[in-house]
Amino acid sequence: AVILYFKQPDLERRLVAIDPGPTWTDPLPIRVLALAVVSAFTAGSFALAAVTAVTPLYGTILRGPPAAVLLLVEAGLLATGAWLLIKNRIGGWWLALGMALLTITSQLVTVAVLGGETVGMAAVTPQQADAVRGSPMLRTDVQIAMNLISLVVSIGVLLWIRPFVGKTAESN
């Protein structure tokens, strides 16, 4: 239904009639806007993760206040990156790249050192433990493969977006 709605031939004309002036997103290339939105949502998820206060950190699992502080700092960096991307500044792209590299490599190292099940079980409540324990998704090799794929895709997408940062939508 959503696809059919947006495929209506006169939709653009109707939207322009409602709001004829340019919007704050008009000058942004769509790829930069998309990265800003993803960065903002990721910042929100890191901030929410601070409630559980459990996070991997290069071979160990941080818990409690140190984990909450780290997650909130990461959320702040991601939110700053999103804001810089909305302003179409290259610093936002660098923050997105740095955060992707740091968080995914930290997860990779932690899984390699502690094992996939240990890392996975650290993130669940005692009530969830029985349902999750033994899951094939918690196997170390599966966790490493998923993180490597995530790392390659993240870097690839960021490199694909990079030429558009700092440009206007009209110049692309």
Residue 12 has pLDDT above 90, yes or no: no
| pLDDT, mean over the chain | 90
Residue 135 has pLDDT above 90, yes or no: no
Residue 1 has pLDDT above 80, yes or no: no
- Res. 127 pLDDT band, cuts 50 70 90: confident
Exposed e or buried b per residue across 110-133, where buried means at least 16 C-beta atoms within 10 angstroms of its C-beta: bbeebebbebbbbebeeeeeeeee
Q: What angle do CA 102, 103, 104 make, to 5 degrees?
A: 100
In terms of pTM, does the model score above 0.85? Answer: no
Residue 146 near residue 135 (C-beta atoms within 8 A): no
Residue 87 near residue 95 (C-beta atoms within 8 A): no
Distance CA 133, CA 137 (A): 10
- Res. 104 pLDDT band, cuts 50 70 90: very high
